Structure 1
Amino acid sequence: MKIISLTTYIVPPRWLFLKIETDAGVTGWGEPVVEGRALTVEAAVKELGDYLIGKDPRLIEDHWTVMHRGGFYRGGPILMSAIAGIDQALWDIKGKALGVPVHELLGGKLRDSIKVYSWIGGDRPAEVAAGAREMVARGFLALKMNGTEELQIVDSHDKIDAAVERVAMVREAVGPNIGIAVDFHGRVHRPMARALVKELEPYRLMFIEEPVLSENREALKEIAALGSTPIALGERLYSRWDFKSVFEEGVVDIIQPDLSHAGGITECRKIAAMAEAYDVAVAPHCPLGPIALAACLQLDAVSYNCFIQEQSLGIHYNAANDLLDYAANKDVFRYEDGYVAIPDGPGLGVEIDEDYVKERAREGHRWRNPIWRHKDGSFAEW
């Protein structure tokens, strides 16, 4: 079996899909994308394709090694996202060729389903309590919200009060037993993070995400000492080498590698195994499309320390198209009582509606990160 082509499709709302074809008629799909940089990642995929054409797609570990180590400059969001989507597609091909799900090739699943959480807003907070009640009514047992609007490095305490009030409203709306995660989104700098973490302690959160940017995580030891809420980060880390120092520092409780950013299934399996050795939980980041979610669920199936999965059904980014629009088998992600089933179909388990992908690719997208500014005109972290 040989790879004969790599074809990319930029599709709404902000996704990039990849189809890898073989001379045996077996195709695989991946989702290589950095949100807001789809065209850049697409170019990286095409560059890597120069090496892959004519190769046996089943030699996944070797291809991953060459794609990563075969360049003098390594790592980072663009290259690792390109590798991630290719890796997903190669696993999809291998599973389909053998007629088994990817998790069967990774040792067999140790769970049949996994808890999922749903996003309820908070960017420009309004009606988050109503959104929380709606998600619980739909069966979700865990929710995530953004904690704050923009915050300067040192800001007024009324913004802390407003953020705490919103979390309090959500806790009151859903009761004591629904998991609530609060994402600081890297918007909060060390001085304000200390105040906010301390004030949120009474609300018994499931976790606090990115209380500071990962590049400022030397502050986490001090922040962690202010409360008992688990700390999560990792969506902006791209390899096992990026995560190595996180584990060694011993402060982070939950890591969130993104299987479309951090080298795909091959690399994230290794990251999850490293995390298990440090007694760190895994909650894969995935505000993306159906291929990315299917890849995450294959990892969840075989990783003991995975405990919850992010997913994008109904998320505000998905205005033009939603999670299931591109799936031919729309029951692939079976949601029930706050859990989603692990797909058991061959490969990644999701069947892509290629005709619809081509139709929507004619529109494409040019999604960009919002640019926020503080009242004084200076740039604000989004």
Structure 2
Amino acid sequence: MTKVVDYELFEVPPRWLFLRVETSDGLVGWGEPVVEGRSKTVRTAVEELLDNYLLGEDPHRIEDHWQAMYRGGFYRGGPILMSAIAGVDQALWDIKGKAFDAPVHQLLGGRARDRIRVYQWIGGDRPADVGEAAGEKVDEGFTALKMNATSEMRSVDTPASVQAAADRIASVREAVGPEVDIGVDFHGRVAKPMAKRLASALEPYDPFFIEEPVLPEQNESLPDLAAHTSIPIATGERMFSRWDFKQVLADGAVDIIQPDLSHAGGITEVRKIASMAEAYDVALAPHCPLGPIALASCIQVDACSHNALIQEQSLDIHYNEGGDVLDYLADPDVFTYDEGYVDVPTGPGLGIEVNEEYVREQAERDVDWHNPVWRHDDGSVAEW
């Protein structure tokens, strides 16, 4: 019987953690278990899962392993454990695909599409000069963009702050015209009292969606927000299991869910979340400002999920200082973006070949990324 015999973890720039899992018959699978800014914490959680459970086990019993990793501990869920499980799960699917010489989506029922639309980030944490950047990305062939709506915002802020956000999306809309979609990420920075005001101000510019208009802790307010705007509402990057998504789907206020394949339990769990969402006529747009293994995992799920709408990807994103999504691939052409789409990879497993030599080289560098801690004018901590 094939067994899991070894694993290695690599912290690499800009802020990623890669997992290499090896089997007794020489197959290697890759996963990307990380919480941005908490890589060392997740690393320890992965080591616990591998050392205490998975080493010596048959890698092909993926569903059983997922249940054991999740249900085998009395305390479960949350970003750290679910991200650790996610990376292990990705690696096991990569191994299984290579064992059968088939892409993961083929093992999940086959393709429901030949390619998936992608969007491109513009601007930074504090968005500025996005109009010019938008024009450049459209010239490169992207048909969908995403930008941050605001920098820090007080719980009840000034009319000027709302107008500034409206002016930014107005500049993008003017630059790209009505044929390009513009997603606007509230990033959890907007408190409940401001969410309706901001949505109302942005509505004339027809956003593709507003993302995380309130923090997940305030998801009960989403139906009220949905009743006040025609803009599609997206959320889910800080929700980590099908049980986290259950209530927002039942409430009927969300139009697009955004589980992260490196945070929400991996391929096994997000495939189930996608199916739940399909029953509620909710689209799937996986969150992925991460590395190539996470992106490859996303595309495998997108390929076999009928309700997959669009895919986030991190090329040139403002976080990627010191490394980018294509740098770690032996063949970066697998993620060639053509007319705003990426073809579904046809190679075995996750469909990518990791440049292991480059990964090992980059893992020698000091990687210590943490998100900034923002403060309001009065010194209180602001949402980043």
Could you tell which deviates more after superposition, 62-71 or 197-206? 197-206
- 1:159, distance to aligned residue in structure 2 (A): 0.4
Q: Distance in 1 between matches of 2:82 and 2:219?
A: 22
Number of the residue aligned with 1:7: 8
Question: Which piece of structure 1 moves more, 79-88 or 324-333?
Answer: 324-333
Name which of 270, 273, 283 aligns with 2:272.
Answer: 270
Asked if the contact 1:122–1:147 (Cα under 8 Å) also holds between the matched residues in 2, the reply is: no
**What letter is aligned with 2:186?**
F
Whether 2:81 is the aligned partner of 1:79: answer yes
Identity over the aligned pairs, expressed in percent? 65
AA at the equivalent of 2:234: A
Aligned: 1:256 with 2:258:
yes
Distance (Å, rounded) in 1 between the aligned partners of 2:379 and 2:356:
45
C-alpha distance in 1 between matches for 2:366 and 2:67: 31
What is the deviation of 1:218?
1.7
- Name whichever of 330-339 and 116-125 sits farther off: 116-125
Shift of 1:122: 4.7
> Is the 8 Å Cα contact of residues 286 and 311 (structure 1) preserved in structure 2?
yes
2-structure distance, mates of 1:106, 1:6: 25
Question: 3-state SS of the aligned residue for 2:294?
Answer: helix
Deviation at 1:348, TM superposition (A): 0.1
Give the AA of the match of 1:170: V
Deviation, 1:334, is 2.2
Contact preservation (8 Å) 1:100, 1:346: yes
Retained in 1: the 8 A contact 2:155–2:191? yes
- Shift in Å at residue 21 of structure 1? 0.4
Q: Give 1:29's aligned residue.
A: 30
Q: Report Cα offsets for 1:104-128 as digits up to 9, x if no partner.
A: 1001111110110000025222211
Corresponding residue for residue 320 of structure 2: 318
Number of the residue aligned with 2:339: 337
Q: Are the aligned partners of 2:124 and 2:318 in contact in 1 as well (CA < 8 Å)?
A: no
Deviations 1:133-164 (A, max 9, x none): 01101100000000001011111111001010
Partner SS for 2:372: coil
| Alpha-carbon distance in structure 1 between the residues aligned to 2:178 and 2:10 | 43
Uncovered stretches (5+) of structure 2, i.e. residues with no partner: none
**Residue segments in structure 1 that go unaligned for 5+ positions in a row:** none
- Quote the residue 2:160 is aligned against: 158
Measure the CA separation in 1 of the matches of 2:207 and 2:214. 17
2:378 is the alignment partner of 1:369: no
Q: What is the aligned partner in structure 1 of residue 54 from structure 2?
A: 52
Amino acid at match of 1:108: G
Secondary structure of 2:42's partner? helix
Query: Which shifted more, 186-195 or 216-225?
Result: 216-225
Output one character per residue of 1:253-278: Cα deviation in whole Å (capped at 9) or x when no partner: 10000000000000000000000001
Mapped partners of 1:230, 1:316: distance in 2: 25
Instruction: Give the letter aligned to residue 339 of structure 1.
Output: Y
**8 Å contact from structure 1 (residues 3, 55) kept in 2:** yes
Instruction: Give every structure 1 segment of 4 or more consecutive aligned residues whose post-TM-superposition deviation is greater than 6 Å.
Output: none
Indicate if the aligned counterparts of 1:113 and 1:340 stay in contact, CA closer than 8 A: yes
Match of 1:184 in 2: 186
- The code of the aligned residue for 2:250 comes to E
Of 95, 98, 102, which residue of structure 2 is paired with 1:96? 98
- For residues 225 and 108 of structure 2, what CA distance do their matches in structure 1 show? 37
CA separation of 1:82 and 1:346: change in aligned 2, threshold 3 A: same
Aligned: 1:39 with 2:43: no
Measure, in 1, the Cα distance between the counterparts of 2:248 and 2:240.
12
Alignment-mate amino acid for residue 292 of structure 2: P
Cα offset, 1:329, TM superposition: 1.3
After superposition, what is the alpha-carbon deviation per residue over 1:69-104, rounded to whole angstroms, capped at 9, x for unaligned? 000000000000000000000000000011110011
Please give the TM-score of this superposition, normalised by the length of structure 2. Answer: 0.99
What do residues 200-234 of structure 1 show as CA deviations (whole Å, max 9, x unaligned)?
Answer: 11111110001110111222122112221100000
Q: Please say which of residues 246-255 and 221-230 is displaced more in the overlay.
A: 221-230
Provide the alpha-carbon RMSD of the alignment: 0.7
Asked if the contact 2:127–2:147 (Cα under 8 Å) also holds between the matched residues in 1, the reply is no
How far the C-alpha of 1:295 sits from its partner, in A, is 0.2
1:301 matched to 2:314: no
How far did residue 54 of structure 1 move? 0.4
Q: CA deviation at 1:359?
A: 0.5
